[in-house]
Amino acid sequence: MSDRTNDGSQLDRLPATADERVVEGRATRQEVLDFWDERYAVAPEIFENYSFWEKGGGKLWAFRGAVASPLEAEALGMTFLRTRQEHWKPTTNAVQRFGRHAEKNVVELADAEARRFVAGEDQPIDWDGDWGYLIAAHDLAGEREPLGVGLFIDGELRSQVPKGRRRELIDGE
Amino acid sequence: MDVLERYESLVDDFSAFRAACERPLPSVVRVNGIKATPERAMDALDDEGVEYEPVEWHPGLLRLDSTSPGRTWGAYHGWLHGQEEVSTLPALVCDPDPGERVWAACAAPGGKATQLAALAGDEGTIVANDRSLGRLSALRFNAERLGVTSMAVTNRDARNYSLKPFDFDAFDRALVDAPCSCEGTIRKNPDALDEWSLEYIDSIAATQESILRRAVQATRSGGSVVYSTCTFAPEENEAVLDSVLSAEDCRLVEFSCDLETRPGVTEWQGEAFDESVRKAKRIYPHLNDTGGFFCAKVEVGG
Ligand SMILES: C[S@@+](CC[C@H](N)C(=O)[O-])C[C@H]1O[C@@H](n2cnc3c(N)ncnc32)[C@H](O)[C@@H]1O
């Protein structure tokens, strides 16, 4: 059993449900599955072979497979969800990896909008769905492809692509 | 001093070798199978008007006709990863299956470790280790961009690596892409040989031997270890294999590869090596218009 606080040097596996929770405030596996299902309609089965981990408060990781918990390591799988704020926020990389299974709260951007989005810009968009964190996607090579997370608020989509991932893309024409 | 002169006796067409070392390298990307198929990645490049040419020996590699491959949609989405053509060889030789545990002992910045993850369908367990924390942050960035979810990252000295944090006691496979004198990267970094010295070669060879020995010990009997460097120096290649063969329970095995290669050398400056080092492969820049490389496959136990 792990100790009762979050330790920045080790990864702890999330408890399955609230009954098994030891560290106060830690998200549970069930809550994580519910979040993806309720917010984006990503089916829980998508994460069947994944274990979820926390390192440092509020930063969750998804790992394909299982290893013994706790684990002393720099990283395990992919950082994929931030749970510190009231509204949970998926990472750009998680949305790119799992967002193609999403059926809800996905906003499809036209080419010019998509380019602005990956450059990190905020822009007005036409969206009459939920507020909050949306999955931004565009059409690429014949299929929808998720770009990252945008915060939709006051008619504007605010790109959440982190600085290191932003790109000024070459012009298509 | 002209470093490359020392290899004149090893290379059959030495003037072609010299000439190739002077030329810059083509820009090559690897299609990341975790996020896209080669077909879809090529479609996206077509849509953007970026010209490319598939690399004959490896369906997932493309030579790009662009000075800014990083500014394509494929790069943004992590469908493409810039990687020197010849440096894709060791992961292909390692060839992990889904469910296997693989140790990438010297993994940063992660080109080969992320390729290992992709080859196992992102369903293995890739333990990517490096001693340099700074280089590991580049590895983590690359792994996440490429959508790798099957990797554990550790920051330790590979020479005395402990499996203790893990609940298993041996790997199925390992890849030692060793720190080396980097002579073979001269086409990419024209100043690669500026700091060259025999003292460095001797000291790095000792490190290479320790890491390879540790990798053999940490791999289960019947498993395999791939050893690679980007240097021509036999001190860092065949001599390292020769020492590890006599110190550990392992042997060299043949492997196939569609690139033009030369066998490992059994003699260098009066020293003779175990005959089996011929099973290793040397790749000179003029043979396939790539960087220089060395690769060997070791089977553990039995
Ligand atoms: C040739 S580079 C690896 C390149 C990497 N495999 C890739 O494909 O991106 C060699 C690496 O070995 C690391 N290294 C050097 N000595 C080490 C040691 N004793 N233990 C672990 N890593 C070491 C260096 O920090 C360097 O990143």
Overall average pLDDT of the B259-283 stretch: 97
Supply the residue whose CA is at minimum distance from atom 19 of ligand 1: B157
Q: Are residues B184 and B74 in the same domain?
A: no
CA B107 to ligand 1 center in whole angstroms: 6
Q: Are A94 and A62 in contact (CB under 8 A)?
A: yes
Q: Are residues B274 and B129 in the same domain?
A: yes
pLDDT tier for residue B97 given thresholds of 50, 70 and 90: very high
Give B98's contacts in chain A (Cβ within 8 Å). none
Q: Are B176 and B210 in contact (CB under 8 A)?
A: no
Rg (C-alpha) for chain A, rounded Å, is: 17
B21 to chain A, minimum CA–CA distance in Å? 31
A118 to chain B, minimum CA–CA distance in Å? 8
The crossing angle, in degrees rounded to 10, of helices B133-145 and B111-119 is: 40
Q: Are residues B176 and B290 in the same domain?
A: yes
CA B194, B196, B202: angle at the middle one, nearest 5? 165
Work out the number of other CB atoms within 10 angstroms of the CB of residue B257.
14
Cβ–Cβ gap B47/A96 under 8 Å? no
Return the CATH number of A105-165, one of 2.30.130.60, 2.60.40.10, 2.70.150.10, 3.40.50.1000: 2.30.130.60
Interface test with B, best of A91, A170, A173 (most B CBs within 10 A): A170
Domain ranges of chain A: 2-99, 105-165
A13 sits in which H/E element: strand A10-13
The DSSP call for residue B259 is S
Work out the number of other CB atoms within 10 angstroms of the CB of residue B23.
11
Handedness of CA B210, B212, B213, B214 (dihedral sign): positive
Q: Can you give the length of chain B in residues?
A: 302
**CATH code where residue B39 lies:** 3.30.70.1170
Q: Are residues B135 and B124 in the same domain?
A: yes
Rg (C-alpha) for chain B, rounded Å, is: 19
Q: Are residues B74 and B131 in the same domain?
A: no
Distance CA B224, CA B244 (A): 14
> Is the pLDDT at A25 greater than 80, yes or no?
yes
Above pLDDT 70, what percent of chain B?
99
pLDDT tens sequence across A67-126: 999 999 999 999 999 999 999 999 999 999 999 999 999 999 999 999 999 999 999 999
Q: Can you give the length of chain A in residues?
A: 173
pLDDT tens sequence across B15-50: 999 999 999 999 999 999 999 999 999 999 999 999
Active site residues of B: 230
Task: State which of B83, B104, B128 marks the end of a domain.
Answer: B83
**B272 in a labelled binding site:** no
**B112 in a labelled binding site:** yes
Q: Are A135 and A149 in contact (CB under 8 A)?
A: yes
- At B76 the pLDDT is 97
| Domains in chain B, number | 2
Residue B157, ligand 1, Cβ within 6 A = yes
Q: Are B266 and B275 in contact (CB under 8 A)?
A: yes
Residue B204, ligand 1, Cβ within 6 A = no
Q: Are residues B33 and B161 in the same domain?
A: no
Nearest 10 degrees: Cα torsion B216, B222, B227, B233: 80
B106 to chain A, minimum CA–CA distance in Å? 15
Distances (CA, A) of B195 to A22, B160, B200: 54, 28, 9
Q: Are residues B33 and B158 in the same domain?
A: no
> Is the pLDDT at A150 greater than 80, yes or no?
yes
Q: Are residues B35 and B98 in the same domain?
A: no
Residue B286 phi/psi, 5-degree rounding, is: -80, -15
Among the listed residues B88, B142, B114, B116, the one whose alpha carbon sits nearest the alpha carbon of residue B224: B116
Residue with tokens 């479609």: B43
pLDDT tens sequence across B144-174: 999 999 999 999 999 999 999 899 999 999 9
Cβ–Cβ gap A172/B49 under 8 Å? yes
pLDDT tier for residue A23 given thresholds of 50, 70 and 90: confident
Distance CA B102, CA B97 (A): 10
Distance CA B32, CA B41 (A): 9
Work out the number of other CB atoms within 10 angstroms of the CB of residue A66.
12
- pTM exceeding the 0.95 threshold for the entire prediction: yes
Distances (CA, A) of A155 to A113, B181, B288: 14, 56, 55
The DSSP call for residue A24 is T
Residue type, B219: T
Six token digits for residue A153: 């608020």
Q: Are residues B45 and B58 in the same domain?
A: yes
Whole domain around residue B172: which residue ranges? 2-24+85-300
Residue type, A77: G
Per-residue H/E/C for B194-243: CCCCHHHHHHHHHHHHHHHHHHHHCEEEEEEEEEEECCCCHHHCHHHHHH
Among the listed residues B273, B251, B250, the one whose alpha carbon sits nearest the alpha carbon of residue B263: B273
Residue with tokens 């299609």: B31
Cβ–Cβ gap A73/B136 under 8 Å? no
Ligand 1 atom nearest the C-alpha of B158 is: 20
Overall average pLDDT of the B258-280 stretch: 97
Six token digits for residue B208: 């290479």
**CATH code where residue B13 lies:** 3.40.50.150
Chain A residues whose C-beta sits inside 8 Å of any chain B C-beta: 49-50, 62-65, 67-68, 71-79, 91, 93, 96-97, 118, 140-143, 145, 147, 164-165, 167-170, 172-173
Distance CA A113, CA A118 (A): 9
Residue B214, ligand 1, Cβ within 6 A = no
pLDDT tens sequence across B185-237: 999 988 999 989 999 999 999 999 999 999 999 999 999 999 999 999 999 99
- At A5 the pLDDT is 61
Overall average pLDDT of the B273-294 stretch: 97
**B106 in a labelled binding site:** yes
Among the listed residues B181, B262, B280, the one whose alpha carbon sits nearest the alpha carbon of residue B226: B280
Cβ–Cβ gap B72/A170 under 8 Å? yes
